[in-house]
Each structure stands twice: as structure tokens, then as C-alpha cells.
Structure 1
């Protein structure tokens, strides 16, 4: 059974979320004081597995986004193609990925399509990036429905008139494939689906679809389809740094990590933490190294340098984090992300309660 939400409830929900969001901040007061004052230093034991100099340096992954593959039954694809490529590239840049020159993408795209068809490839230009991403649009459809004009008289004798309207909804389906280069090994295939809708006051019951409406809705639905799976794609490019320092001033807990502006780290980026442990494998009699994630998370503050940044962490981090523990960018979508992106705000709020 679906819950029925009135506009007032939706407005209250939005207000609550907005006000709640204002309570959190990434701004650090008296920055010099918190870094240089020795009384704020929190001593940390070293991790069981400290990072090597090479690991501390780290490397930025490079990606080539290939031209969008269009199935023959996809219509209104012009705006859709442009939006898919744009959303993908923007999302990858946010994840700190280096986007390879577009001029190399077409040739490599042809190579991958040939490889998918024949299982063979020439190898030409395959080493241009670490990963190739091939987006595909399988179908772009526009559904429409007509609602005739209506009128009624309320209890006070006042007449109300609702004009006729046409509702349009575009649905885009497709997938995104990731290939490891230079081996052209497919590592992941993620299905995508997005919708976009609009209503127009039209008395024509056939609800004609103009080219402008079709292209606009197809473009919006395509962008939403990519947004809906963007966090899954970004997870493949999560960057790892390491915890180096800890500071505590009052309720403020900060840790310094080896990721910064050079790795495209930005204020507000979510960070998850993990430690490496050597544990016995009783089936083999040997020790194995496993990565165990902590329950707490962090968010990048406004203190970001070229190759390091200060991250605001939950108070539970104190006594658990170790020097050399892993700090990793996190792209899980929040509740607020889900209801404000990928479609209509009010519809998304209602859907979240269904």
C-alpha cells in the first residue's frame, strides 16, 4: 500500500532536511591554531601495514569515455547522446579521474566495438588510458496521455476550472561498460534507466509530440539515467590515501590524509576509513591480509593543500584510527541526493515514502 503525502507534508520534509543540512559545516575556525598548537595533537599507534613511499605518492587514474553506442530502435537520440557523455565526464572529473583527449576516443571506440563483435583486436591505441568506458543507449521512448478539461462548483458556490492537458514522459534505457586497458578486459556492465516528464495545457487529445519536447525530455531522462548509476561508476575510481595525523579541539576531530587538490579532492567530499590486518587462515595454516572498514566516516574540510587535506571525523575515530590507515573517497548517494537529483523533487520525496 502506498502512502499518500500532501503538499504540506512534502514541504515540511524538505524544510526539515534543509535545516538539518545547515547544522553541519566543513569550515574550520582558527586553522593555524588547530594545526600548530601541540595540545591538540592526538597520538596514534602505527597501522600493522604502513604504506610504502610509492603508495604514499599515489597515481591518478586515466579514463577515455568512448562515443555513445546507439541501438537502431533509439529515437530522439541527439540530445540524449550529448547528455550521457556530459554527465559521465563530469561525474568522473568529480571522482578525481583524468579524462583522456576526445580525439583518441573514436578510434578506440571502433576498436572495442570490433572486439565485441569478433573477439579480436589489433591493439592499436589500446594503451591510451587505464580504463575505457563505453556507454550505450538501447531505447529512448516518449509516452503521452490526455486529460480533458474539467470544472466543478465547491460548497461555497465558487466554480473551478481545470484546462485540458497532455502529460509526456520520456524513458531512456541503456548500459555502461568498463574495460581495463590495454587488455580490453570487461570489468563491469551497469544497466541504466532514467525518466523525465512534463505537462502542457493542450486541448488536442492526440497530444502531438514536438521535436523540441522530444529532444528536451530525452536529454533530461538521459542525464537522469547516468546520475542514477553514477555512484556505482565512481566507486571504480575511488582514490586511496593514508591517515598521517590527528587533531582534537573541543568537539572538533580532524585527521590529515595524503589526498589533496592534486587528486581533485574537494571540500565536502565524503571519506571512509579502513585498516589492514593480518589474520590466520585456518584452512591453509597461513596468514592472510584483509582490509577492514571502520563504522565511522569523515568529510573533507576547507583545509586542502596540494597533496594532503584535513578531514572532519566522528568522535568515534579517536582511539580507533591508526597512522597509516587507509582513507578512501566515498561516492555513496545520500537520501538528500536521491530526492533532489535524477528527477522531480516532489516525485522523488513521495517515492522515498512509498
Structure 2
């Protein structure tokens, strides 16, 4: 079923330690088994983001609701999913909220969306601390003066529930939370702060809460079936049915998995491992497909129709604030 050179080429690639930088040419196809349950592409996934709830009074209420909704919509658009028009979302909020309580959204005709995001801001807390002025002597014997100051922390929390339509099943509950910090020199130990300053800090915290949480990106990451395999001196690679239209680029990491049906009828997903889009600017990524480099073990197990899903990039190395937020600091 597989060419004898497949394992040898994969081993050679592993030993060199270099990434695959060329796409195998036509004529180097490898015969593949066909998956019993082929994966479907996520092209037509539609998501409706409801207006954000906030049940308590707060000076930053309107700002927080706007920031959370705007940023959640931007995050969803970034995954390639389709957003339901905001005017329609506003109109349908009451119906969907009632359906959440009853467990069924009874809407006839064409489904408005596959998923609904129901978000509630649960906390926005401002705290302050006063530090008195002090002096100290540095290593050079110089006296340094540190003025008195007030330090402020605003912590914002929210919960985003992703539910499927029309059955209203909970797909995922996502906890959103982050803090923003500021300080000002003052001798006033009461640490007064204006509404404008507080609103600005709350908005910054809300932006971080969405930007530094990657659960939604993981849930909605583009996916598509594997359609072919090639093997040549460059390495072994599979063709996946998504490309630049889904924002794939050379080096993008891809999770490959299989779908199985148990004897009881349950559908299970079994992860094979990760590959990456071949690192060639011109040949590796086309609008509707890409070539993904895979290793020896995976090449012997993957089947035509298995699922390929983008692994969203999380905290960039040079973004320490993102890493601190991930650690809850």
C-alpha cells in the first residue's frame, strides 16, 4: 500500500533536523486508506454573538459590554467563521436567552447559526494602595528619593458560554479575566481616581481578557479533511482542503486526528499528532488547500478523510504580559 521508500525518507528528514522546505511534485502520490468517518470542513460555520449581559451597576458598564462584544466578534472573525449580522443578533437575544432556559430553540426555516456565544460580565473590581515616600542610598553612595504614590488595579471577569443551535447544548464554558494596573504620584493617601480613569482601566482589562484567552480560537479553529499524500526526497506530506482563505501560511501548525464510532454508537476523536505547513512561500499554500509535512509514524497511520485542524498561535514569545496573564498574575 505504501512505497518502500516512505520510511527511509521520513527517517532521513528526522535525522537532518531541518524542516521541510519544498513541496513534492505531482507524480509522487502515495496510496491512502479511506477514513470510515470522513471529516467535514468548517467552511460554513456560522456564529451569533449576543449582546453582553451585566447584571450589576458599574460606572464602566456600557464600556465593558461594548469592548467584550467587539473583541469576541473580532476573535471569531479571525478564525474564519462567519458572524451573524449584529442587528439580527440584537433582535434574537431574547428568544435565544429564553431557549437557553428551556433547552430548545424552536426556530423554523434555515438555521440562523451553528453556535451562539452568550456572555456575561461577572465582576469589575477596582482596588488601590498607597505607598509613602522614602529615601535610600544606592551602591554609589548617592541618596535617592522615591515620592509617595497610589497604585491602582482593576480586575475584570466574564463568562462566555458557547451553545449549539437549535438544541442549545453547552459546547464550552470559557472563563475570561484579566487586570490592568496604573499608578500616580500623590500625597493623598485616599487614592482618588476619576470615572474616566477607571473606565479606561476596565476597558484595557476587558481587552486583555479576550486577547489572552485562546479557548475560543481553539474551539473555532479552521478544520478540513486530508485529501492526498505525497512522498519524495523533501519528505512526506499530506494535502489538506484549506489554505490562504483560512489564513494558513508556511509554518502553521496543524493537528491531525481520526474520527471513530464506538460499538455503542458514540463518536470519538483520536489525535494522531501535529504537522506543519511546508515552509515554501509559493508552493505550499493555495487559496483552498495546503501541503502539511508529517513524520514517519503519522504517515503510516493517517487516512484520506482524516481531520486536519489549525493550531492557533497563543502567547508570542515577546509578549510578557500575555504570559503573565496565562499564569494568573
TM-score category of the 2 structures, normalised to the smaller one: 0.7 to 0.9
* 8 Å Cα contact 2:230-2:236 kept in structure 1: yes
| C-alpha distance in 1 between matches for 2:58 and 2:19 | 45
Post-superposition shift, 1:113?
3.3
**Aligned residue number for residue 291 of structure 1:** 269
Deviations 1:143-188 (A, max 9, x none): 1111122111235421112222221111111211223223444443
SS of residue paired to 2:220: coil
Larger displacement relative to structure 2 (104-113 or 167-176): 104-113
**Aligned residue number for residue 258 of structure 1:** 241
**Aligned residue number for residue 36 of structure 1:** 25
Deviations 1:9-51 (A, max 9, x none): xxxxxxxxxxxxxx9989x46xxxx34364xx36243234274
| C-alpha distance in 1 between matches for 2:89 and 2:60 | 23
List gaps (5 residues or longer) in structure 1.
1-22
User: Aligned residue pairs: how many?
Assistant: 309
CA 1:314–1:80 in structure 2 vs 1: closer, same or farther (change >3 Å)?
farther
List gaps (5 residues or longer) in structure 2.
1-16
* 8 Å Cα contact 2:103-2:168 kept in structure 1: no
| C-alpha distance in 1 between matches for 2:42 and 2:73 | 22
| C-alpha distance in 2 between matches for 1:192 and 1:101 | 24
* 8 Å Cα contact 1:109-1:134 kept in structure 2: no
Post-superposition shift, 1:105?
1.0
- Please, what TM-score do these two structures have when normalized by structure 1? 0.73
- Please, what TM-score do these two structures have when normalized by structure 2? 0.77
Q: Which runs of 4+ in 1 moved over 6 A?
A: 23-26, 117-122
| C-alpha distance in 1 between matches for 2:54 and 2:93 | 13
Give 1:244's match in structure 2, choosing from 222, 227, 236: 227
Give 1:323's match in structure 2, choosing from 299, 304, 313: 304
CA 1:144–1:251 in structure 2 vs 1: closer, same or farther (change >3 Å)?
farther
Q: Does residue 271 in structure 1 map to residue 246 in structure 2?
A: no
Q: Supply the RMSD in Å over aligned alpha carbons.
A: 3.6
SS of residue paired to 2:254: strand
Post-superposition shift, 1:66?
0.9
SS of residue paired to 1:36: coil
**Aligned residue number for residue 181 of structure 1:** 165
Structure with the higher fraction of residues in helix conformation: 1
CA 1:339–1:112 in structure 2 vs 1: closer, same or farther (change >3 Å)?
farther
Larger displacement relative to structure 2 (174-183 or 317-326): 317-326
| C-alpha distance in 2 between matches for 1:149 and 1:43 | 73
**Aligned residue number for residue 49 of structure 1:** 36
